[in-house]
C-alpha cells in the first residue's frame, strides 16, 4: 500500500459523482475553507479552487468517473491523487455517511498523509486499454452462449458434439438436433448471436491491432516469445501493466496481478487470507488464459503440470503455473530478455 505524503498549503477532498461533486478544501491547520456541493463540470471546479491554486493538492476516491478530473488537473498542473477505493476504510465507515462527510474525510486523509494511492493511468493509452477490456466483456458473453448450447444438449441427453462448436464451420445443424420447436428456437437465437459476436470481435481485434501504439514495441515482441501469448494477450498485458518499472519487485507485480493469496497474521499466527478483489482482475484473467494456452502442444510443460498436479491437485497446479508465468513476464520486461523454456521449468 502506497500513501501520498506530499506537503501542500491547501488540501482538497472531492466526493465525486457522475453529475455532481462535493468539494472540501482545508488549510494546513485543518480549517475548512470550502465545503460545497457543485456540478461536476470543469468550469465550476476551476472557479471554486481558483483562490487556492497556489500549492493545492486534489484527492478523489477511485470510481468510474475520475478520468476527466485527472486529465483536467494534469492540464492545469494541479497535483492529483487517486485514492484506492478498497483501502479507504475511513470513507466507508462511521455512524453517519453522506457526500459532505465523505469530502471532509478525503481532505483530512490527504492532509494527514494517509491517502492510499491508486495508479493514475495515462490518458493517451486509456482509450485502447478500455477497448481491450470491452473486447474481453464481449468474449465472455459469447462464451456464455456457447455454454448454454452445451448445457441444453446435456439437459435433453443428446450426444456430445464431435467437434468444437466455437468454430463456425462446426455449428451447422445444431439447432435441428432438438425436436422441440421451442428449444430449437432458443438454440437458433444463441447461434445467431454467436455469429454476430464473431463478426463484431473480428472487426474489433483488427482495429486494435492496427491502431494500438504501445510505448515499447520491443516489449511486445519479448512477450510473444512466451508460448501461449499471442497478439491480443500481449497487448492486454502491456496495456494493463503500462510501465513495469512502477513495480519495485516481482512480488509487487504478482500481487497486483492477483496471482498470490495475501495472508493475515496476528501475534505470529496465521488468521486467514484476504484481498482477493484488490489488484487488477484483467491481468489475473490474462495470466489464467496464458497458463491454459501455454500447455497446448507443449510436452515439457504438460509433464511439469502432471508432476505438480500429483502433489497439489490440478486446479492448484494451474494457479502455480499462472503465478510462474506472471513472474516470468516481470523478468522478461525488466531484463529485456526473451523467454527461456528450460530455465522456466527448472526454477
**How many Å apart are CA 143 and CA 338, to the nearest integer?**
32
**What CATH number does the domain containing 55 carry?**
3.30.420.40
25 backbone φψ class: left, alpha, beta (φ>0; ψ -120 to 50): beta
Residue 242 lies in a domain: yes
Q: How many CB atoms lie within 10 A of CB 203?
A: 10
- Residue 80 and residue 193 in one domain: no
Is 271 among the domain residues?
A: no
Cα separation, 75 vs 155, in Å, equals 58
Q: Given CA atoms 133, 322, 262, 238 in this order, what sign does their dihedral have?
A: negative
211 CB neighbour count, 10 Å cutoff = 10
Residue 199 C-alpha cell reads as 463478426
**Structural domains of the chain, count:** 3
What confidence score (pLDDT) does residue 274 get? Answer: 75
Cα separation, 320 vs 261, in Å, equals 11
pLDDT less than 50: residues of the chain = none
Decide which of 116, 146, 162 is a domain's last residue: 116
The confidence score (pLDDT) of residue 47 equals 97
Candidates 9, 25, 50, 42; CA nearest to 103 is 25
Co-location of 235 and 252 in the same domain = yes
Is residue 112 one of the residues assigned to a domain? Answer: yes
Shared domain check, 98 and 209 = no
Are both 129 and 105 inside the same structural domain? no
As a whole number of angstroms, the distance between CA 14 and CA 88 comes to 13
**pLDDT at residue 213, as a whole number:** 67
The whole-number pLDDT of residue 215 equals 65
Residue 51: give the domain boundaries: 3-116
Answer yes or no: is 270 within a domain.
Answer: no
Residues 133 and 90 in one domain: no
* Co-location of 230 and 204 in the same domain: no
Give the pLDDT of residue 319: 95
Give me the pLDDT at residue 93, please.
Answer: 74
295 with 247, same domain: the answer is: yes
- Residue 250's pLDDT is 96
Query: Does 102 fall in a domain?
Result: yes
Asked if residue 164 is part of any domain, the answer here is: yes
Instruction: Using the 3D structure, point to which of 97, 116, 135 is the last residue of a domain.
Output: 116
Q: For residues 50 and 34, what is the distance between their CA atoms, to the nearest angstrom?
A: 12
135 and 101 share a domain?
no
Amino acid at each position: 500500500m502506497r500513501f501520498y505524503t506530499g506537503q501542500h498549503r491547501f488540501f482538497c477532498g472531492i466526493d465525486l459523482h457522475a453529475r455532481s461533486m462535493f468539494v472540501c478544501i482545508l488549510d494546513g491547520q485543518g480549517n475548512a475553507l470550502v465545503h460545497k456541493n457543485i456540478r461536476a463540470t470543469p468550469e465550476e471546479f476551476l472557479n471554486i479552487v481558483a483562490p487556492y491554486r497556489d500549492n493545492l493538492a486534489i484527492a478523489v476516491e477511485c470510481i468510474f468517473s475520475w478520468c476527466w478530473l485527472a486529465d483536467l488537473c494534469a492540464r492545469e498542473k494541479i497535483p492529483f491523487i487517486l485514492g484506492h477505493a478498497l483501502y479507504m476504510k475511513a470513507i466507508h465507515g462511521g455512524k453517519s455517511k453522506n457526500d459532505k462527510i465523505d469530502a471532509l474525510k478525503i481532505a483530512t486523509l490527504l492532509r494527514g498523509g494517509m491517502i492510499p494511492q491508486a495508479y493514475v493511468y495515462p490518458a493517451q493509452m486509456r482509450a485502447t486499454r478500455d477497448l481491450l477490456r470491452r473486447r474481453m466483456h464481449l468474449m465472455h458473453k459469447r462464451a456464455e452462449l456457447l455454454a448454454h448450447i452445451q448445457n441444453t444438449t446435456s439437459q435433453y441427453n443428446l450426444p456430445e458434439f464431435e467437434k468444437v462448436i466455437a468454430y463456425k464451420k462446426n455449428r451447422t445443424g445444431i439447432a435441428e438436433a432438438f425436436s422441440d420447436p421451442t428449444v430449437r428456437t432458443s438454440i437458433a437465437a444463441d447461434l445467431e448471436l454467436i455469429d454476430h459476436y464473431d463478426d463484431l470481435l473480428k472487426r474489433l481485434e483488427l482495429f486494435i491491432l492496427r491502431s494500438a501504439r504501445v510505448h515499447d514495441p520491443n516489449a511486445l515482441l519479448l512477450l510473444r516469445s512466451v508460448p501461449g501469448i499471442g497478439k491480443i494477450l500481449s497487448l492486454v498485458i502491456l496495456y494493463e501493466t503500462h510501465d513495469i518499472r512502477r513495480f519495485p519487485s516481482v512480488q509487487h507485480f504478482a500481487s497486483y496481478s492477483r496471482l498470490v493469496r495475501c495472508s493475515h497474521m496476528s501475534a505470529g499466527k496465521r488468521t486467514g487470507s484476504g484481498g482477493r478483489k484488490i489488484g487488477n482482475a484483467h491481468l489475473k484473467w490474462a495470466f489464467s488464459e496464458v497458463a491454459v494456452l501455454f500447455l497446448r502442444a507443449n510436452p515439457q510443460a504438460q509433464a511439469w503440470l502432471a508432476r505438480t498436479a500429483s502433489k497439489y491437485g490440478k486446479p492448484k497446479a494451474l494457479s502455480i503455473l499462472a503465478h510462474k508465468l506472471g513472474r516470468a513476464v516481470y523478468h522478461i520486461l525488466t531484463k529485456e530478455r526473451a523467454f527461456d523454456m528450460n530455465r522456466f521449468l527448472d526454477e
